[in-house]
Structure 1
Amino acid sequence: MRNMIAYCGLDCGKCDAYLATINDDHVLREKTAKRWAELNNAPILPEHINCEGCRVDGIKTVFCDSLCGIRQCALKKDVMTCGDCPDMESCQTVGEIISNCPEALGNLKG
């Protein structure tokens, strides 16, 4: 579904937080919390791993809801995704996402 493409172009439908939420998979929540805590050097617990996608109504992780600069920028600019933003080509923030996940650019242009 097109609404599962995040503002940055990542596919929320492939995100472990989303998968754990829709499948009520506590084992995946635990694994994801541990991995994200290590990657972010932050106290992320399994109960924090609940998200239904950043562009749809429903629950989101704390990061996706209020800490993600890309999401906040897209909401402020009232764009569906960064692909609709005239500044996307020069944006360093979304550029980092695209360099780490080239599939995101295809999602933004698709």
Structure 2
Amino acid sequence: MKRLIACCGLDCENCDTRRATVSNDRALREKTARAWSAMNHAPEITADTIACMGCRTDGTKFAFCRDCCEIRKCVRRKGFDTCGECEELDGCPAVGSIFRHAPEAEANLLASKAR
């Protein structure tokens, strides 16, 4: 499985936060901060907080992903790389909320299970 597939199946490689971090793109950091701040009703998300190399890679992590993501915490607690290894994947309400907004995340996890 690609290391840039997050615990929940999202593709970190296509995440604007990671892209802004890798390219050190201030404008993309500002755009992403505005979007994420509005989407999450979180004014504390600013361009200076937009920094991440991916939730399963070494390096900096976005504060939510590092400290608050219940999905990442669960995966780590169970000793998995991703939710795709979990027998409870189909009925999991936490990762299910991701799938409702990003069905490609589920496809990424299912593809990794098939291998």
TM-score range with shorter-chain normalisation?
A: over 0.9
**Pairs within 5 Å for 1:23-42:** 23-42=23-42
Residue 99 of structure 1: CA displacement?
Answer: 1.5
TM-score (structure 2 length as normaliser): 0.92
Residue 103 of structure 1: CA displacement?
Answer: 0.7
Paired with 1:32 and 1:38, the residues of 2 have a C-alpha distance of 10
Residue 91 of structure 1: CA displacement?
Answer: 0.3
- Moved runs in structure 1, 4+ residues, more than 3 A? none
Paired with 1:34 and 1:106, the residues of 2 have a C-alpha distance of 28
Equivalent residue, structure 1, for 2:82: 81
Which SS does the other structure have where 2:109 is aligned? helix
Partner AA of 1:30 in structure 2: E
Which SS does the other structure have where 1:2 is aligned? coil
Residue 106 of structure 1: CA displacement?
Answer: 1.2
Alpha-carbon displacement from aligned partner over 1:17-58 (angstroms, at most 9, x marks no partner): 000000110000000111111111111110100000000111
Q: Percent identity?
A: 46
Equivalent residue, structure 2, for 1:107: 108
Paired residues, what number? Answer: 110
Partner AA of 2:69 in structure 1: C
- For the pair 1:56 / 2:51, whether they are aligned, the reply is no
| Unmatched tracts of structure 1, length 5 or more | none
